[in-house]
Amino acid sequence: MLLLVLVLFWTGPVGAGVRTPLEGMGDFRFLADLPVFFEADGRARVDCVVRLDHEELRFDEDTTTDVAVGLKLARQGVVAVDTTQVFRVQLHDTDSGAALRTTFELLEISAPTAEGRWAATVDLVTLDGRERRARAEGVLAVTVWPEGQPRLSDPEFRVDSGEGALPHPERLYGVSQDTLETYVEISGAPLGVESRLDLQIVDAEYGTMDQQNVALVPDAAVDAAVIRVPLVALPDGQYVLRLLPAWTDEVVLESEFVVSWRIERALQARDDVMMEAELVLGPRELGRFRRMSRPAQAQVMQDFWEERDPTPGTPRNELYDRFLARVAHAARFYGDHQRPGPLTDRGKIYIRYGAPSTIDVEVIPSSGIDLDEAIGQVHDAFAMDVAGTNIRGELSESGLFETGPIVTDADRDRRRNQARIGQEGSFELWRYDSDGDPLFEDGGLWGENIDLRFLFVDRMGIGVYELDYSNLETRH
């Protein structure tokens, strides 16, 4: 049974499951949370909850696939847990073929474990003949409780759904749910005797933002409680949920979560925050970003756009609105069978520089002459002795331009092109005049005498256009 009252402040030794959710990367992405619970006899059990979005699997014609979830906990040659369970993931109704209303799966496995700190590895493998793989790694702390003291589980974050509360590995609240909901269990406590638990919500900069005192009065060897905390007074940001059992001063449980009141941020953090990062972050920033938890990633992207808001203090961020509109346009017009539109070369250029002034299109040239002329137009856009001119540009994984060696011999490139006669499908030459609309400031790139050009070539004739040439100024 449960009672909610009000709180104290305390700091001390910290023990918790995983402080932030684990981000799985590989052929697809997933999120994993690992709260630890205790049985009546004091033995620990880790519950691994995996969120796997349907879109990450990129099904073709199949309506279902089997996914193996493996959990391993080990340290210094000792393996505490090494277990695998297979789940069937279903995207469409097997009778009608219609897409299911759900957009993600929650895959849960449990295993007994021992107290202490463990290197945690969560592996997912699709058993559909292609064996796509993804892995998440982190550190799991199984709390060491004082002998004879009641044990409190890690908080399991939950979110309301049409079918009741579900585990919430994302730990993202705000516009999607304005009340923090956590599930905890207490074991080994005297039956019918009140055990108090102090709860705090802490901001790294401003300290304690909210606090409560919870009275747990167990009527079973293992009893459960759901704690709800309104978040409406909290601004956007990343917070720590801190649980301090009043019956011991040796244990504190801390877990991070995120609050966001922007509907577009909440939706994107759930669905495709990595795509946004790949479009606007540089290679170094993106590398660090990939190693962050999903809540931390959501906060990074929110900070990124707030720093560039042209009208801070107003409800709208016009720059972010423009970005979203361009992403939607790229998704509609520039996708291919390999990549979504925003992550194709044409999509990245459109998002960054807007609609080109003109587009020259040639479908399946019968010779290399047309392509040769298009390449010549790119070459001629800048005098070739201008320092910093790049003819053969490559789009990095982050969507920003990275440049190869400066090329000043146009004839050499034309000869190379002649050797490829018959290998090209189609090409598009995009031209931007001085009235272009770059999303970000590009250090004076745009000016009266600048004529940017990008040549995209469909080498195989299957609609996959890749950036082949540009005269974009080199950035070092």
Residue 208: give its domain's CATH number: 2.60.40.2550
CB within 8 Å of 155: residues ≥ 6 apart = 35, 182, 183, 184, 227, 241, 243, 253, 255
According to the model, what pLDDT value does residue 3 have? 32
73: domain CATH number is 2.60.40.10
Q: How confident is the model at residue 423 (pLDDT cuts 50, 70, 90)?
A: very low
According to the model, what pLDDT value does residue 11 have? 38
Query: What mean pLDDT comes out for the span 88-96?
Result: 67
Contact 180, 228 (CB under 8 A): yes
Contact 379, 409 (CB under 8 A): no
Model confidence pLDDT, tens digit, residues 372-422: 666 666 555 443 333 333 333 333 333 333 333 333 444 444 444 444 444
According to the model, what pLDDT value does residue 365 have? 55
User: Could you give the number of structural domains in the chain?
Assistant: 3
**Pair 147, 134 in one domain:** no
Q: Which structural domain range is residue 47 located in?
A: 24-139
**Pair 420, 461 in one domain:** yes
Q: How far apart are CA 294 and CA 143, in angstroms?
A: 24
Of 84, 114, 139, the last residue of a domain is 139
**Pair 366, 431 in one domain:** yes
Of 207, 230, 261, the last residue of a domain is 261
115-129, 267-281, 405-419 — which is least confidently predicted?
Answer: 405-419
**Pair 241, 129 in one domain:** no
Q: Considering the chain, what is the average pLDDT of its residues?
A: 77
According to the model, what pLDDT value does residue 401 have? 33
According to the model, what pLDDT value does residue 61 have? 57
Per the model's pLDDT, the better-predicted residue between 73 and 286 turns out to be 73
**Pair 45, 134 in one domain:** yes
Query: What mean pLDDT comes out for the span 81-97?
Result: 78
Of 118, 139, 160, the last residue of a domain is 139
Model confidence pLDDT, tens digit, residues 311-331: 888 878 888 888 888 888 888
CB within 8 Å of 407: residues ≥ 6 apart = 390, 391, 392, 413
According to the model, what pLDDT value does residue 386 have? 35
**Pair 150, 4 in one domain:** yes
According to the model, what pLDDT value does residue 270 have? 44
According to the model, what pLDDT value does residue 32 have? 96
Q: How confident is the model at residue 185 (pLDDT cuts 50, 70, 90)?
A: very high
111-115, 412-416, 432-436 — which is least confidently predicted?
Answer: 412-416
CA 202 to chain centre: 24
CB within 8 Å of 424: residues ≥ 6 apart = 364, 365, 368, 371, 457, 458, 459, 461
Asked if residue 70 has pLDDT above 90, the reply is yes
According to the model, what pLDDT value does residue 409 have? 43
Residue % of the chain over a pLDDT of 90: 34
**Pair 153, 172 in one domain:** yes
